[in-house]
């Protein structure tokens, strides 16, 4: 859904869609949107009201645009406060019955205002606008999120992992076997193609990747994957957390973004004369992302809890550098094995996590990359190894606090222009407010406050 007005869906098509959902046992439909603190908010309607919601939307307060992760209401320069109303309009083309929540379906919502025009700060529309900007430049963007989360016991606010054993270990997989099979099957029923699923490094941690999509589709997929993983964990008697840090000092969970750009000749990150096969436009796209990484941290990992994960020598990507298959670099070039480069080559932004709004993440990264292409930027020398262990390294560290990240975003001309004044200010307002609320908190207090939010 990319228009500037509430669409007018064909009544017969809506009736057929409702009939298909009814045949699957659906009785209720949730409409979700993600706020600027990375919290997924929902309104729900009975299936009998889906057609009306698709034509006219359902009400939601715009106050959520400046909510913090713990539901504190702030006011920004343009948004926030008790006034006004939005219309949440479900994208019925993306509706999916929820395999882990029988009787329910899910649809991502776009935001409009009461006169039927597009809400100026709609995050999903921002992602769509950046995809259109790429298309105008002759580029097609492909993206996917890599999900890491932890499975824990219920009945305690402290973290107790349910799957013991070494990282990536077969012992963990044995404990995950039924859950993993059910999760992959549930995602498949919902139209998502799982590429990989395995136990990860940290205690109780798993990782799952899905096939790439367009920018809006990739963000939709991210919301649906996390939703399904949490719901299915509950059905297994467990608790799932996508928070970046459950136990301070230990490895955390990321939400890395994989992205590539293509033109009529193919992948910009393969088949060229540049380093590792980069074409000139592909190098410029990556250089634009690399330049904006300090500001992008505020969007992709700007919560105070994010900085409990963003430490050196943890493969968290805290350095504003790039390299081929270099897991300490924030921007990692993945070329693929010989013969797969034309379709496999992509870049991974490693510093992001699940405290982010995925629509803002994909949109902002695309905007940064397009700015690089427009300015014909070039990448600096790549790194190898771990800058933290190299006394001669000149690698610049990305923001080390929520305050630093918010100020980097506030000062980014590229992202301010792409986001527009209302959305840009709202994100900065939220990130500054969260930083202020946690300024005197210990690491343990921040982890406890955010452990079960995402």
Percentage of the residues of the chain whose pLDDT score is greater than 90: 87
Within-domain flag for 124 = no
Report pLDDT digits (tens) over 353-394.
999 999 999 999 999 999 999 999 999 999 999 999 988 888
CA 337, 340, 346: angle at the middle one, nearest 5? Answer: 85
Number of folded domains in the chain?
Answer: 2
Report pLDDT digits (tens) over 316-336.
999 999 999 999 999 999 999
Position 402 pLDDT exceeds 80: yes
Q: What average pLDDT does the segment 156-163 reach?
A: 82
Q: In this structure, are 80 and 228 located in the same domain?
A: no
Within-domain flag for 5 = no
Within-domain flag for 327 = yes
Q: What is the CATH number of the domain that holds 188?
A: 3.30.590.10
| CA distance linking residue 236 with residue 257, whole number of Å | 28
Q: In this structure, are 188 and 59 located in the same domain?
A: no
Which of 108, 361, 403 has the alpha carbon at shortest distance from 254?
A: 361
325 near 332, Cβ under 8 Å?
yes
Position 436 pLDDT exceeds 70: yes
For 397, counting Cβ atoms within 10 Å of its Cβ (0-12 exposed, 13-18 middle, 19+ buried), the class is middle
Q: What is the CATH number of the domain that holds 65?
A: 3.10.20.70
Q: How far is CA 137 from CA 38, 262, 279, 370, 396, in A?
A: 29, 11, 16, 8, 31
Within-domain flag for 397 = yes
362 near 126, Cβ under 8 Å?
no
Within-domain flag for 153 = yes
Point out the domain boundary residue: 62, 97, 119: 119
**What integer pLDDT is reported at residue 3 of this predicted model?**
65
For 99-148, give the DSSP string: TTSTTEEEEEEEEEETTSBBPTT-HHHHHHHHHHHHHHTT-EEEEEEEEE
Within-domain flag for 4 = no
Point out the domain boundary residue: 119, 148, 169: 119
Q: What average pLDDT does the segment 221-243 reach?
A: 96
Q: In this structure, are 269 and 309 located in the same domain?
A: yes
Question: Roughly what angle, to the nearest 10 degrees, separates helices 215-235 and 358-374?
Answer: 150
Helix (H, G, I), strand (E, B) or coil at 88: strand
Kindly state the tokens that stand for 77.
């320069």
Position 46 pLDDT exceeds 80: yes
Q: In this structure, are 115 and 133 located in the same domain?
A: no
**What integer pLDDT is reported at residue 317 of this predicted model?**
93
Q: In this structure, are 371 and 230 located in the same domain?
A: yes
**What integer pLDDT is reported at residue 330 of this predicted model?**
97
Residue 433 is inside which H or E element, if any? helix 421-437
Q: In this structure, are 39 and 166 located in the same domain?
A: no
Within-domain flag for 1 = no
Structure pTM? 0.96
**What integer pLDDT is reported at residue 161 of this predicted model?**
87
Point out the domain boundary residue: 119, 152, 172: 119
Q: In this structure, are 89 and 153 located in the same domain?
A: no
| CA distance linking residue 298 with residue 178, whole number of Å | 37
Within-domain flag for 431 = yes
Domain encompassing residue 48 = 11-119
Q: In this structure, are 136 and 109 located in the same domain?
A: no
Mean confidence (pLDDT) of the chain: 95
Q: In this structure, are 113 and 135 located in the same domain?
A: no
Q: In this structure, are 266 and 292 located in the same domain?
A: yes
Q: In this structure, are 97 and 150 located in the same domain?
A: no
Q: In this structure, are 201 and 347 located in the same domain?
A: yes
Q: How far is CA 61 from CA 66, 114, 247, 302, in A?
A: 11, 12, 35, 24
Q: How far is CA 68 from CA 37, 65, 196, in A?
A: 6, 9, 33
Which of 209, 255, 225 has the alpha carbon at shortest distance from 360?
A: 255
Report pLDDT digits (tens) over 264-292.
999 999 999 999 999 999 999 999 999 99
- Sequence-distant (6+) residues with CB within 8 A of 115 are none
């Amino acid at each position: 859904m990319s228009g500037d007005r509430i669409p007018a869906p064909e009544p017969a098509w809506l009736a057929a869609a409702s009939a298909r959902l009814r045949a699957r046992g659906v009785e209720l439909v949730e409409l979700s949107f993600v706020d600027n603190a990375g919290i997924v908010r929902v309104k729900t309607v009975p299936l009998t009201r889906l057609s009306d919601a698709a034509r006219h939307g359902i009400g939601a307060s715009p106050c959520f645009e400046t909510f913090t992760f713990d539901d504190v209401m702030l006011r920004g320069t343009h948004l926030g406060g008790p006034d006004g109303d939005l219309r949440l309009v479900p994208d019925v083309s993306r509706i999916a019955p929820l395999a882990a929540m029988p009787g329910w379906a899910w649809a991502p919502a776009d935001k409009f205002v009461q006169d039927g025009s597009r809400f100026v700060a709609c995050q999903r529309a921002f992602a769509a606008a950046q995809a259109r900007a790429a298309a105008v430049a002759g580029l097609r963007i492909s993206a996917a999120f890599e999900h890491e989360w932890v499975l824990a016991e219920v009945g305690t606010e402290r973290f107790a992992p349910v799957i013991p054993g070494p990282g990536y270990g077969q012992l963990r997989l044995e404990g995950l076997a039924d859950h993993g099979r059910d999760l992959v099957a549930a995602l498949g029923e919902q139209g998502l193609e799982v590429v990989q699923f395995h136990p990860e490094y940290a205690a109780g941690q798993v990782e799952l990747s899905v096939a790439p999509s367009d920018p809006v589709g990739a963000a939709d997929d991210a919301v649906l994957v996390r939703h399904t993983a949490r719901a299915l964990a509950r059905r297994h008697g467990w608790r799932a957390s996508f928070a970046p840090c459950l136990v301070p000092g230990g490895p955390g969970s990321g939400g890395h973004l994989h992205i590539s750009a293509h033109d009529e000749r193919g992948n910009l990150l393969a088949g060229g004369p540049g380093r590792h096969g980069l074409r000139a436009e592909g190098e410029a796209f990556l250089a634009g992302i690399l330049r904006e990484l300090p500001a992008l941290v505020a969007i992709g990992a700007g919560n105070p809890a994010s900085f409990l994960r963003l430490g050196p020598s943890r493969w968290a990507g805290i350095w504003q550098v790039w390299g081929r298959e270099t897991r300490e670099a924030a921007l990692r070039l993945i070329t693929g094995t010989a013969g797969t480069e034309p379709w496999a080559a992509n870049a991974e932004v490693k510093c992001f996590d699940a405290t982010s709004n995925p629509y803002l993440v994909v949109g902002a990264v695309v905007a940064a990359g397009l700015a690089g292409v427009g300015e014909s930027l070039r990448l600096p020398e790549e790194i190898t190894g771990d800058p933290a262990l190299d006394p001669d390294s000149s690698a610049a560290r990305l923001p080390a606090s929520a305050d630093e990240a918010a100020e980097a975003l506030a000062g980014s001309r590229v992202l301010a222009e792409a986001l527009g004044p209302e959305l840009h200010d709202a994100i900065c307002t939220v990130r500054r407010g969260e930083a202020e609320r946690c300024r005197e908190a210990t690491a343990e207090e921040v982890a406890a406050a955010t452990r079960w939010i995402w």
